Amino acid sequence: MDERGARSEEVLPAFASLRDTCPALRIVMPADLWPSIAAWDEKGDHDAFHRSICILAFERGHLGRVTAPIHRFLLAGDRPRPDLRSQYARDLREDWMFPEDALERHRRSRIFTGRIVELQCAAWLETQGWAITGLEALRTGPDIEATKEGGSFAFEVKAIGRHDEAFLTVLESLRGQPATRSPSLDAAANYVLFRAYESAKQLRRCDCGRIAVLVIEELGWHDFRTQLQEGWIDWANPSFLGSDPAWLDFLQAQRERYPHLDTELSSVIHGLDAIWIVQRLSGFEYRRELVIEMPSRASSR
């Protein structure tokens, strides 16, 4: 594929031709879905300026970083692998853009992006010398299993994009309205801590090493950078910070899913070997920014 990208007026026809020949894109945009995506893109979103992640990547010249992991892990020749799980295949359908409400589109896009990030992280790990031995896409279990230098590890990957308040602030600006929201720094740190806890809960049954990979997209990195780099989270004795009302509402909802959250937060997180903070840069490049090693388990690098 030509990685230089295409001029705007040529994007949709050129992308349509590529989709016809690319089995990875046909997983993401199957025949029953493609006409609706094409019509939506041709009409354009003049509110939040949302755009298909795949079409936008094509226009910017880095679609290969979206499709390559699908080719690598999910295809057998030009067909989906027979062991590709049906739920995973459904999550990989890029149909998040159809709700009328922009915030709902934003929320649904996170599910799709999360699956793409999982596959990209597996490909990224291979570039770091890891051998992939298992993927949630193909069996029940952790997102990724991999070995390196004789050690076996399970990885849980969490994609962290712009949270709802930050998205709404941008949306208000696009609409010419005054931005009325100021994101809470404490709440952002708390969200990272919660996603680490969630990852650790999902990895508790794994007998091998356990690593939570928290992937923060570049556009949202500034919301978390200071708290992470200055050590706002006490990982040796973790607890949530502040009393931001939106955060407290979120936390109360999570207590319904995790009734022991408050009492087991520290012990569950300390069941990890490490937490990796990774930034997803423009063009789907990945850079590990921080490694937090848990003192109660063996060091993981």
Residue 299: is its pLDDT beyond 80?
no
Average pLDDT, the chain: 88
Instruction: Please give the pLDDT value at position 7.
Output: 53
pLDDT tens readout for residues 116-156: 999 999 999 999 999 999 999 999 999 999 999 999 999 99
- Look-up: residue for tokens 């990982």? 235
Mean pLDDT of 154-167: 75
Which of 155-164, 177-186, 244-253, 289-298 comes out lowest in average pLDDT? 177-186
Half-sphere exposure of 164 (CA within 13 A, CB side): 10
Cβ-contact 118, 137 below 8 angstroms: yes
Residue 25: is its pLDDT beyond 50?
yes
The band of 168, judged by pLDDT with boundaries at 50, 70 and 90, is: very low
- Residue in 120, 189, 121 with CA at minimum distance from that of residue 154: 121
Count of CB atoms situated within 10 Å of the CB of 139: 11
Q: What is the value of pTM for the model shown?
A: 0.89
Q: Which is it for strands 209-217 and 151-160: parallel, antiparallel or unpaired?
A: parallel
| Enclosing H/E stretch for 73 | helix 64-74
Cβ-contact 261, 255 below 8 angstroms: yes
pLDDT tens readout for residues 258-280: 999 999 999 999 999 999 999 99
Residue 176: is its pLDDT beyond 60?
no
Kindly state the tokens that stand for 13. 């026809």
Half-sphere exposure of 235 (CA within 13 A, CB side): 23
Long-range CB pairs of 227-233 (<8 Å, 24+ gap) are: 227/185, 227/188, 227/189, 227/192, 228/189, 228/192, 228/277, 228/289, 228/290, 229/290, 232/185, 232/186, 232/189, 233/189, 233/192, 233/193
Instruction: Please give the pLDDT value at position 175.
Output: 43
Q: At what angle do helices 102-127 and 164-174 cross, to 10 degrees?
A: 120
Length of the chain measured in residues? 301
Kindly state the tokens that stand for 204. 């508790």
